[in-house]
Structure 1
Amino acid sequence: MGLEERVAELERRLTALETSDREAPDEAPDREAPQLGEGDFWALEGLKAQLTEVGGAADSGGVLYTGAVRMPTGEGYEWQYGVLTESLMDADWADTAESFAALGHPVRLRLLREILGGRRTAAELAALDEVGTTGQIYHHLRQLTGAGWLHTTGRGRYEVPGGRVVPLLVVLTAARP
């Protein structure tokens, strides 16, 4: 079984696990619902079970990130991705430099946050305080677009592609002190 098939199988099995958890929730009447990050390692245990099922891949391990988010605009995104550690270690990490560089400026991060919050046009973004001149804003928007964090939807409108919303939030979560 090839790597792509194994990752697809991991994603299918994780979806099945998540669905079964939703259908049979563990609710005690006098107990508060657990917060993210509390309790056992439900996501980690699910990942380890799937790694074991794909033929011993658990020896090297894997990385999984997932999310279900609702933006202030009402748009919702559900996304997950899993990759085997071996594949990550064999990859050329320099290929990710442009993507990280695009996120490495406070104004670009602010623009992404504002776009996710509903300000989608260059004019709306230019009206914000402390984001620079129109020329500087367009420079930042080009950097984010070139790295795939944004795309244009026509007539000076920008949006974060659906498949990049959860990864962006994961990167921001991982960078928190």
Structure 2
Amino acid sequence: MELEQRVADLERRLAALEGARRDTSRLDGSDFWALNGLKEKLSELGAEGGGILYTGSVRLPTGEPYAWQMGALTEGLLETDWTTAAESFAALGHPVRLRLLREVLGGLRTAAELAELDEVGTTGQIYHHLRQLTGAGWLHTPGRGRYEVPPARVVPLLVALATTRP
């Protein structure tokens, strides 16, 4: 019950933030509850170089709920080999693959259902795109011919999409 209350409180806060005017030029902290929490945590850790945090509480059109949080220290991100991320980014770099991901999140889960969509190409092309997304970890196959976005990838996918908005 305590967890349900906490999630409900977070959802209310998120709704309030979504309805509020978004002025990111204000850095006084009044609208940056997540940022302030991150700064506190970084201070506790003695992480002078800073860090990042992304989190989300999502209910898909299919009704499936996802709650997820990921953080990383800046130092670790800057020192790692970024070329290992190329395959993951490349998989997202095609409009048809993004469409397929959106449709899978929306409830179309089989290759046959996806093949019925307009403007996604031939069956062979669809399977090529599905293999690219699966190989990069954006999709997995829980059963023959069925596709799902892994739970740990739902919020990061939506975060990646959100970063493309001005």
Would you say same fold, with TM above 0.5? Answer: yes
Q: Distance in 2 between matches of 1:96 and 1:70?
A: 27
Give TM-score, length-normalised by structure 2. 0.85
1:67: how far off? 0.1
Q: Distance in 2 between matches of 1:163 and 1:98?
A: 17
Q: Distance in 1 between matches of 2:58 and 2:16?
A: 18
| Structure 1 residue runs of 4 or more that deviate by more than 6 Å after TM superposition | none
Q: Deviations over 1:68-90 (max 9, x none)?
A: 00000000000000000000000
Q: Deviations over 1:117-163 (max 9, x none)?
A: 00000000000000000000000000000000000111200000000
Q: Secondary structure at the match of 1:35?
A: helix
Amino acid at match of 2:9: R
Q: Secondary structure at the match of 2:53?
A: strand
Task: Name 1:41's counterpart in structure 2.
Answer: 32
Q: Distance in 2 between matches of 1:102 and 1:114?
A: 16
Q: Distance in 2 between matches of 1:120 and 1:157?
A: 5
RMSD: 2.2
1:176: how far off? 1.8
Task: Name 1:160's counterpart in structure 2.
Answer: 149
Q: Percent identity?
A: 71
Give TM-score, length-normalised by structure 1. 0.80
Q: Secondary structure at the match of 1:130?
A: coil
1:68 corresponds to 2:57 = yes
1:22 corresponds to 2:9 = yes
CA spacing shift, 1:98–1:85, aligned 2, 3 Å:
same
1:22: how far off? 3.4
Q: Secondary structure at the match of 2:119?
A: coil
Q: Distance in 2 between matches of 1:34 and 1:168?
A: 23
Segments of 5+ residues of structure 2 without an aligned counterpart are 1-5, 23-29
Q: Distance in 2 between matches of 1:161 and 1:102?
A: 15
Q: Deviations over 1:40-88 (max 9, x none)?
A: 110000000000011x21x200000000000000000000000000000
Q: Distance in 2 between matches of 1:120 and 1:139?
A: 16
Segments of 5+ residues of structure 1 without an aligned counterpart are 1-18, 27-32
Q: Secondary structure at the match of 1:167?
A: helix
CA spacing shift, 1:75–1:21, aligned 2, 3 Å:
closer
Q: Distance in 2 between matches of 1:77 and 1:20?
A: 11
Matched length: 151
Amino acid at match of 1:89: L
1:149 corresponds to 2:138 = yes
1:20: how far off? 10
